[in-house]
Structure 1
């Protein structure tokens, strides 16, 4: 059979565990034909995998839609399992077989929480960083067969769930970090094959985490509460339809765990001598455990998390053992990462393993800890002294490439050490390679910057005493991240917290979740300037939802965030003067190299950057209103956008067309955000090139200008300069970091200076993804895989590769929601050999920019256009050869 459904997704995931509304459905179609379009589909939902208990059948729907399908009037029951399958017919009159089923489990829905929050801590433990245990024994009816059993679990703090002696699931750091007072996620775990008839034991280990732990560069604690607590509701359904429900309540018991200390920044201390072996198993006979306390808490804030929890994703072995000039033993894992070190050790009871985690060696080759600031990044394990012991932390994580071994019984054997990579579970969707090894390493660094910082929230760095969800970083990297990985659910979760943490007036915090407000009295900058509503940072409220729509075509994020988006635009308008906007503390072109000596603030005026983003976000919001058929809002904000642009041009352009602020970033924003009067576009572009040449082809831009620099050039006839900028390899440049041995993106262009000295230790992360925002240029321009906002989610793609930079070849693939879009080009002299892959049920516009002569067209009907040649193509594999101008 030529036609098949290769992948069925639910909310863009292969499976979901814990949903509160019917997921968005979608599927990928495979066919060896060209120009394949779906003509109809039939979708079924069943309680069983054999589809003998069908609860919904769409019948044959004559539709081309194969993604973002929202079904109405399907009533879900709580704590139940469902399976979904689909079959399709195409325009060749072929009908596929039924797809492999995708499954989901519902959460509690409207059945409500019977469970209570319980804690093994005492009120006086509010400043304690130890972990605790809670447990309960219960009987499942041994005279009945269990049909299903699901645990719905959350916590104040971080928890790990155990049943009958084993950890449940593969999630880590649950329930993650959210705006807990408004939005606390719970996870759903399948216990069907774990529980048995008769005696069972359920338990959990709880740590301080973000909830009550020591957080933020102010090093405060108890932001959300003073004690950890667990809430758990187990629903057992028997084959006769009867149910048992086991809840957290006063009948549970608690005790201290072997984790004596666990904090996100400072690490973990574990004393294996205090383990109570088998504490969560049926055969365990406990010492006297203490009663738990039932804690009052708002259960209405509990929302199901169906996917995207943090998981162990990779395991890396060391690449070298180093003895530093100062005599320290250091393990090099060869890759800057976020996660844990797992080790095995033998020794006497009471002996210790102590590790310190760090990112770089200094110029002399010694351990460099200064850029961690007050974060200890230290783990300590006390041996129990019984054979080989293997361990890794539980309620912390470290950002590191290197590990200093401060104590370890016996010889340090590298075979006993493994780095475990942690990040939010997301499918990798982008692949990139080319003839430049340095550019390949840059792509690698960008990807690992994402891995290192997408740990439940998009953090600014994973090593020092910060790790906060800075909105500016997340905004500028959002598009790049969404080529690299399927970020829809990751960002949808984070944007929910942005919405909850907005001020009543619509202001957007600098960090989400917001732990700066009311905690920055000792920080002069934030105390005086405020903790919300900085241009380019707060615009994440609009830019990120729009990017999700553009990349995935799903209107749900736009709908969910609509009031938040509108609130931010209205906030800017309320605080603008004649459509020029700025407000209190602005970060501007943060850490740009044209800043004054000793300053973090770039030279581009704040009122220019603020008003530029005011215009851009207003434009995107007006488009979002149009997508959602909010016609009045669309017209209102489109008109507002026009007024802002007009005011920008009045204020910042002279009558002769000179942009008043003579900085690279000012010209980049004016060009990329389409704020330049058309008559002045060429002059503005030429001035940008002049500014580039004044620095010998180097950028001096910061957070605001850097993401769009290559775009501003390539969109305005300066592709050569864009490639040259990208491929610069001396300071400052992306490839300077690569040549310096970086394996992730640095926070500063000169994190390590050419002479080997360090930028200020005060703020010098070597895993800080913001400047990795150039990654989208690699996919959108170099490879030419561009979305069409009129048919988002790559239902219609614009394929416009831009060979250059002296590269011999480039190969990129993006796994869209419809399937893989592939582009490979090879250049020989002036001839380009182009291969393109378009997934079934989509189409594309193919643009051969600067194409002079067509040599091979593979049956494609090209027509000349201003750029070169263009054609409309359907799905399939194509190979074209053409000569460049």
Structure 2
């Protein structure tokens, strides 16, 4: 690439620069393409029109070694005289990301330079070729974007016109880090129209979109020149109905817009927010209450993924839960699988990603999304093989944690199983192996993982007072995941033709050491892990003990981030499907449906983000869009509907369908579009009988009432007995 990095020659402070290049076409254009990237996020316009609908390009990667560039076809946009303008904001590259935990690192990040690199190639119909690329001939000026940052929002002055253009300067920055676009394009995927505009008891003017989204608000207004619009974002109103966003912590999450004269429509372009409500702190005519819902639209922004899974039932509460899970994924799959999209965090937590990856792959086609992120995980992996707790690594002082670092192994395996592409295992195998080797080298006791510092069963409801961690023993959790990651590494190695004898022996020793060290289990999560990872001496008895413990606890879950995604699977795998349904359908706190009863439109971080008395859990760590507990969706796909890929035929080359109905739900219909076709499973309760309607576009193994039938692609109807109530 001949293009050079360019930057500004002065400190513009918080103002976003706009870079410019003008040129004349010297003939009839056959084709023209432009490649570009930035240190920050950019928006490019050619002759006053946006080049692409890509939002927040070039995306978020491990910037030290990997920076995506995008390539656009601009043939139809060229004119005889052309002006290319590219505005560069701070984005993830230069915002104060993770300053709540690592302020010094965030300060260094904020001091990094803004940069742009672009190369334009024009081929004329007479065969002549012309190249234009970033160098000292480009110009820059202050843009109307007076401030833009991930946590704090955007300030835009529509009255400001760039002037006083100056020469750009060459920036000494590596071009070796540039890679072609790998991930999904980030786009405005959906538009949510305002549901209501109302006054709160405090007199605040608030717009409710009826659905929490990640993205930004777009508004239309007829204003006088210089009038200000100031908008705050929030997820909730408090128990009195007032606007609430204290849980955003230090993130200001606000936009300020200086109006030009006349009618105008605007939305931020270089940042994003997580919100359901906006508060109009300043807005033209707001005192006259002449505001209408038609003036406000929430643009949902997320990675361009095709929805592949669909779940519907006769239970509207369950349908709302499924909708919340889908929206939680959309809101947190904005180029990186983040924990939350609203507060001063928005980081790619590895633990959240691994517990949700299976559900994510059923809900949407996430192969491309995860492939890109896993390459960043490998790039951030430390020299000793340790996996960072967030990817990209904006928390370099964090120690590796079990169930978080295991994303290095669990995610590639799950993607392979759902999509059937061995390349993900080939590409990630070294990273997977290095993680297992890291545990082996760092433990204080051979074949156990002891001595580490972990997040434990994060937010487990059995946590001791004052702790965010559950009561499950951290060494037990760590060793259980050590065994599981080793087992998956062995499976992956076999798929791609590796000799895994050394790790097979390691796994046997880990299991033996686990059984000797942890002969008994005290919490729900300890039981879950011992069963699900095949570590208990007697898995059936341990599963039975788990069921009894759950009933003793009031038929409710006490698990956190580690135990919750697996607990229903363990129960249904060992004869306790009815109890699993009881947990799924429970409406009181704690349960999946408790937030639904409280009006949730996404998945909450805490089971009681809003407590039974109407008060909030806290302002310290209380996200209302946190997808992890939405992992329950994979149980609905795999157990309730019974759809699973066969391990020897990954990617659903062959499908296993074994539905597990429950009379408390009248009917359930689930479908999944796979790499090898569509499969759907529907059951309908009719008195003491169940009607099953199954469609499959691939060979299938169908199991009804314990009877197995091997079938070819087609439509099938069966009748069975209603067993679970």
TM-score (norm: length of structure 1): 0.79
Match of 1:257 in 2: 143
Secondary structure class of the residue paired with 1:297: coil
Secondary structure class of the residue paired with 1:462: coil
Match of 2:405 in 1: 538
Match of 1:140 in 2: 25
1:224 Cα deviation after fit: 7.9
Match of 2:615 among 757, 764, 772: 757
User: CA offsets per residue over residues 602-635 of structure 1, 9 Å max, x none?
Assistant: 10000000000000011001111111111x2x22
User: CA offsets per residue over residues 197-227 of structure 1, 9 Å max, x none?
Assistant: x322222010011111221124524428622
CA distance in 2, matches of 1:696, 1:838: 40
Contact 2:95–2:149 under 8 Å retained in 1 = yes
Match of 1:563 in 2: 430
Match of 1:844 in 2: 700
1:275 Cα deviation after fit: 3.1
CA distance in 1, matches of 2:714, 2:129: 52
Match of 2:511 among 640, 645, 658: 645
Say yes or no: does 1:686 pair with 2:544.
yes
Secondary structure class of the residue paired with 1:245: strand
Secondary structure class of the residue paired with 1:625: helix
Match of 1:673 among 527, 530, 533: 533
Match of 1:621 in 2: 489
Alignment RMSD (CA, Å)? 1.3
User: CA offsets per residue over residues 4-44 of structure 1, 9 Å max, x none?
Assistant: xxxxxxxxxxxxxxxxxxxxxxxxxxxxxxxxxxxxxxxxx
Match of 2:416 among 538, 542, 549: 549
Bigger drift between 471-480 and 634-643 goes to 634-643
CA distance in 2, matches of 1:181, 1:371: 31
Contact 1:121–1:132 under 8 Å retained in 2 = no
CA distance in 2, matches of 1:870, 1:239: 64
Contact 2:685–2:722 under 8 Å retained in 1 = no
Contact 1:121–1:227 under 8 Å retained in 2 = no
Match of 1:702 among 560, 564, 571: 560
- Which of the pair has more CA radius of gyration? 1
Contact 2:663–2:685 under 8 Å retained in 1 = no
Alignment of 1:28-43 (within 5 A): none
CA distance in 2, matches of 1:324, 1:166: 40
Match of 2:120 among 227, 234, 240: 234
Say yes or no: does 1:873 pair with 2:685.
no
Bigger drift between 701-710 and 267-276 goes to 267-276
Residues 1:619 and 1:288: Cα distance change in structure 2 (over 3 Å): same
CA distance in 2, matches of 1:828, 1:270: 60
CA distance in 1, matches of 2:660, 2:583: 15
User: CA offsets per residue over residues 746-792 of structure 1, 9 Å max, x none?
Assistant: 00011110001111211000000011111100111111110112111
User: CA offsets per residue over residues 268-299 of structure 1, 9 Å max, x none?
Assistant: 111111035xxxxxxxxxx4411101111111
Match of 1:164 in 2: 47
Say yes or no: does 1:483 pair with 2:368.
no
Match of 1:797 in 2: 655
CA distance in 2, matches of 1:835, 1:195: 55
CA distance in 2, matches of 1:372, 1:624: 41
Match of 1:180 among 43, 51, 63: 63
Alignment of 1:589-604 (within 5 A): 589-604=457-472
CA distance in 2, matches of 1:345, 1:492: 42
Contact 1:822–1:837 under 8 Å retained in 2 = yes
Match of 2:638 among 780, 795, 806: 780
1:739 Cα deviation after fit: 0.4
Say yes or no: does 1:809 pair with 2:697.
no
Say yes or no: does 1:210 pair with 2:92.
yes
Aligned length: 714
1:578 Cα deviation after fit: 2.0
1:240 Cα deviation after fit: 4.6
TM-score (norm: length of structure 2): 0.97
User: CA offsets per residue over residues 329-353 of structure 1, 9 Å max, x none?
Assistant: 1111000111111001122211111
Alignment of 1:273-288 (within 5 A): 273-276=159-162, 287-288=163-164
Contact 2:228–2:259 under 8 Å retained in 1 = yes
Match of 1:334 among 210, 225, 248: 210
Secondary structure class of the residue paired with 1:427: coil
CA distance in 2, matches of 1:357, 1:649: 51
Match of 1:107 in 2: none
CA distance in 2, matches of 1:427, 1:740: 30
Say yes or no: does 1:504 pair with 2:383.
yes
Match of 2:584 among 726, 736, 753: 726
Match of 2:479 in 1: 611
Contact 1:501–1:514 under 8 Å retained in 2 = yes
Bigger drift between 812-821 and 605-614 goes to 812-821
Secondary structure class of the residue paired with 2:605: coil
Contact 2:182–2:372 under 8 Å retained in 1 = no
Contact 1:534–1:583 under 8 Å retained in 2 = no
Say yes or no: does 1:114 pair with 2:2.
yes
CA distance in 2, matches of 1:295, 1:321: 48
CA distance in 2, matches of 1:598, 1:781: 36
Contact 2:157–2:257 under 8 Å retained in 1 = yes
CA distance in 2, matches of 1:151, 1:629: 41
Match of 1:315 in 2: 191
Contact 1:336–1:359 under 8 Å retained in 2 = yes
Contact 2:43–2:270 under 8 Å retained in 1 = no
User: CA offsets per residue over residues 84-126 of structure 1, 9 Å max, x none?
Assistant: xxxxxxxxxxxxxxxxxxxxxxxxxxxxx1101111362x44x
CA distance in 1, matches of 2:481, 2:585: 28
Contact 1:622–1:637 under 8 Å retained in 2 = yes
1:135 Cα deviation after fit: 0.8
Contact 1:335–1:401 under 8 Å retained in 2 = yes
Match of 2:343 in 1: 464
Residues 1:243 and 1:323: Cα distance change in structure 2 (over 3 Å): same
CA distance in 2, matches of 1:306, 1:629: 26
